[in-house]
Structure 1
Amino acid sequence: MEDGKPTNVRWTVLALACFTSWFLYLHRYTWNFIGPALETEYGFNKAETGSLAAFFNITYGIGQVPSGILSDFMGPHFFLGLIIIVWSLVLPCQGWVTSFPGLATTRLAFGAAQAGAYPSLANVSQAWFPLSSRTIMQSIIATLFGRGGGAMSSIILASVLMDWCGLTWRAGLLVMGGVGALFGIAFLILFRNSPHHDPRVNDAERALIDEGRLPSAAGAPRVLPWHVVLKNRSMYFFVIQQFTSAGADMVYSLFMGDYFLNTKGFSLGKTGLLVSLPLWGGAIGGVLGGFCNDFLIRVTGSRRWSRSAVGFLGKFVACMLMFVVISRESGVAAGWALFAVKFFSDWSQPTVWGACTDLGGRYSATVFSIINTSGTVGGVVAPAIFGAVLDFNSVATMVEGKEKMIANYDALFYLVAALYLVSAACWLFINCTDSLERHGADAKEA
């Protein structure tokens, strides 16, 4: 441009990344109402619906590392756009399959389609946003819009499409999937892999994005060597942190519909609103945590301890607040207490993204995929355990003339608190400045 002002293509990219994250969670959190519907229509118990939910996490986890490597190798443009379309088309299929094996297969396909999204978005944030504000951008993408999509899922599906518009849950999934597929097409048209591959970006904007960027380690191999990962102590604690954190968070995506609808006895419309409360807490907490993280880095000059402090504080306070949830008799009060729990739990979510890009550098998508895989393993293990805990703590109750199993959630909430405590402790041992890119270059030279 003649006046030398930077172009603003990065904001278009930010919007595309944000809505990718929004649709990812919007579609995933529909299980809060799919699960109870399957229990009602097909007679599944909570362990069975928990197992069906876990099938998603199997392929979601298996697909993480291959997706991260592929995104690092070829860039996220076509890869990310296509998987958005695919998972949006698979979403409504969950409403038209009637057998347990068929539902399990559909869940496997849904998980495989969503697997590459966040590793690719880690690549997007590393390529398109300057280092000084990257954690804030990651908090907006992953937490504000990701958790916001999860929060809106129950409102859009249950409160709007089912309660207000009178659609069945199957028709609601069809509407939500169709809109997601249209967004995927828009992503393919508007996105490019990096500012250096996009002709709409001028030199001034490229310079702004590259400001403060750490230089790539000379001689680093194109693909992250696995022996470098296995020798890195921080990665071990990072894996445990994400396993326990993501395992604990499965309670929000799978069981909140049952908790408010059946255990607390709210109507469908009000349940949709209450289910969204923890996700709104996470969305707000994540954004504030991202700002806090970047602020601490600027003030203290220590990227390592700023990341660890924010991560530890968020998970520790979330652990303590779970005991407030358990003590609340009122369903509305419990909903607001869960809002506070998720606020602090997701306070550390941008720190996860930031630590992945710090550790990974040019291997950001691969590192993120490893961490997200460990979280997904937690997501595979947790639903069946959570479901079994709830079945063990359920009693038969007559509701409108029919016998129904009503679960007591206290034992499950104690388990979630314990998982948060382990996650908090792990943050004290994660050194995000121990660059895998640098170690990869050193290993190649050796």
Structure 2
Amino acid sequence: MAKPTRKRYSILFLVFVTVVINYLDRSNISIAAFAMRDELGLSTVQMGIIFSAFAWTYSILQIPGGIMVDKVKARILYPVILVFWSIATLIQGFISSLSAFIGLRAAIGLFETPSYPLNNKIVTSWFPEKERASAIAVYTSGQFIGLAFLTPVLVLIQDALGWRGLFIVSGAIGIVWAFIWYIFYRDPKKHKKVNQEELTYIKEGGGLVEDHSEEKEQQQFTFDDLKHAFKYRKLWGVYIGQFCTGSLFVFFLTWFPTYLVEFRGLDFIKSGFLASLPFLAAFVGVLLSGFTSDFLVRKGYTNEISRKTPVLIGMILSMSIIGANYTDSTFLIILFLSIAFLGNGLSSITWVFISLLAPKRLIGLIGGTFNFIGGLSAVITPVVIGFLVEDGDFEPALFYIGAVTFIGFCSYLFLIGKVERIEI
């Protein structure tokens, strides 16, 4: 009997790189922010609005984006949205007005809308349940490891080419990658290098190798489907938890470099390298969480223990961000923030709950709803912090993040209950 091929890992690599590019185009604004504010005369409140604009469209359109994921093949959908959000990224290098920045950030959010529901659908199709948390951890780590290694690189690019050059380079990378994705990606049953043994291994392990977008009856959206996305307490548990996890992540994605440079008085180049350390910690956290979770599954522990435990521990560690308010030591500040982001990494395998809880034919819709609620953190948090730090003091902002994280801990602990697929 032939051994199963392992093509699913090369597919996972494609998703990983796409996530890195996705977050490159979300986060480059945080690197450019200090120079933009100085050149364009923007206030912290205006900068907060620019940070937030991405999430206006990204969060509001998650549900339509999730429905699109259920209907359109990943090979087509991903390169199309990649090209459009990369063009919007690139154009930022040629504008100067507040309204234009807001519009382009909103455009990036619009075209990135289907990306994470699409990532989840791809992994749910390509990986059996016992490998799924690890797979989710690997591609999710792209948002951390990419930013960890890219943050110093982006700082150096900006130092050499200016903040406008930073946007142009970022956009060009995404356009090239869109063509690479189209050339190499295929769904499981249509991939010529996948043998039947690997397909059987995935399917028998709970992977959804069938392409439901080809079944016409699956394409008919009804409002009853939408009701299913909001009627279950366990789904609200992961929705609220994702909002709270996202709030800490959004702080690092937007205001963190400004915090180091303006509030803590660090040199811009030095801050770029120090800013990478919490992302490295988060990278370690998300991989540790995913592989530990799958290890516990293989050892026979229930999903309640194997899936929830890393997330709950991560939420507790994330609250340590408040500790940075009580020291002036650069070492301790980075240590507290790294521990907090390590916790954020541990709690970032939450997409595994969608793959385990969502009705099979509504994975895209439920994933979109999940990302919609989570994405609201990117709408609210940058603006809230912009107002909280208007007088130059970041301490209230860190208290806010710590309090929201505690709410997320309570949500996972008390609302989700038994982790099992909802049958409709």
**Could you tell me the TM-score, scaled by structure 1's length?**
0.88
> Where do 1:294-305 residues align within 5 Å?
294-305=294-305
Alignment of 1:101-180 (within 5 A): 101-142=99-140, 144-158=141-155, 160-163=156-159, 166-180=160-174
Q: How does 1:247-286 map to 2 (within 5 A)?
A: 247-286=247-286
Q: State the partner residue of 2:419.
A: 433
Whether the 8 Å CA contact 1:243–1:378 is kept in 2: the answer is: yes
* Distance (Å, rounded) in 2 between the aligned partners of 1:362 and 1:342: 34
Equivalent residues, number: 415
Q: Which residue among 194, 197, 202 is the counterpart of 2:195? A: 202
Structure 1 unaligned spans of 5+: 395-406, 441-446
**CA deviation vs aligned residue, 1:209-246 (integer Å, no higher than 9, x gap):** 223217899x9955571222232111122222122221
**Letter of the 2:104 counterpart:** T
- Aligned-residue identity in percent: 23
Aligned AA for 1:210?
K
Q: Which runs of 5+ in 2 are unaligned?
A: none
Match of 1:334 in 2: 333
Give the superposition deviation at 1:103.
1.2
Once the two structures are TM-superposed, the CA of residue 80 in structure 1 deviates from its matched residue by: 1.0
Change (3 A) 1:87 1:153: farther
Hey, what's the Cα distance between the residues in 2 that align with 1:434 and 1:69? 22
User: Which residue number corresponds to residue 403 of structure 2?
Assistant: 418
CA distance in 1, matches of 2:110, 2:289: 30
By how many angstroms is 1:299 displaced? 3.2
Aligned in 2, Cα 1:366/1:431: closer, same or farther, shift over 3 Å? Answer: farther
Cα distance in 1 for residues equivalent to 2:72 and 2:382: 34
* Residue number in structure 2 paired with 1:243: 243
Which stretch of structure 1 is more off in the superposition, 358-367 or 414-423? Answer: 358-367
Q: How far did 1:357 drift?
A: 0.3
Deviation at 1:78, TM superposition (A): 0.7
**Could you tell me which amino acid in structure 2 is paired with residue 167 of structure 1?**
L
Counterpart in the other structure of 2:179: 185
In the TM superposition, residue 433 of structure 1 has moved relative to its aligned partner by 2.9
Q: d(CA) in 2 for partners of 1:216 and 1:378?
A: 33
Give the drift of 1:186. Answer: 0.2
Query: How far apart are the structure 2 equivalents of 1:332 and 1:179?
Result: 34
Determine which structure has more spread, i.e. the larger CA radius of gyration.
1
Give secondary structure in 1 for the equivalent of 2:347.
helix
**Letter in structure 1 aligned against 2:161:** L
**2:69 paired residue among 57, 68, 71:** 71
Q: Which residue of 2 aligns with 1:309?
A: 309
Cα offset, 1:61, TM superposition:
0.9
Partner Cα separation in structure 1 for residue 348 and residue 394 of structure 2:
25
What is the distance in 2 between the residues matched to 1:58 and 1:234?
26
- Partner in structure 1 of residue 227 of structure 2: 227
Q: 1:332 to 1:29 in 2, by over 3 A?
A: farther
TM-score, normalised relative to structure 2: 0.92
Q: CA RMSD in A?
A: 2.2
- Matched-pair contact (CA < 8 Å) for 1:356–1:432: no
Q: Shift of the alpha carbon at 1:75?
A: 2.6
Q: Which amino acid is the alignment partner of residue 95 of structure 1?
A: G
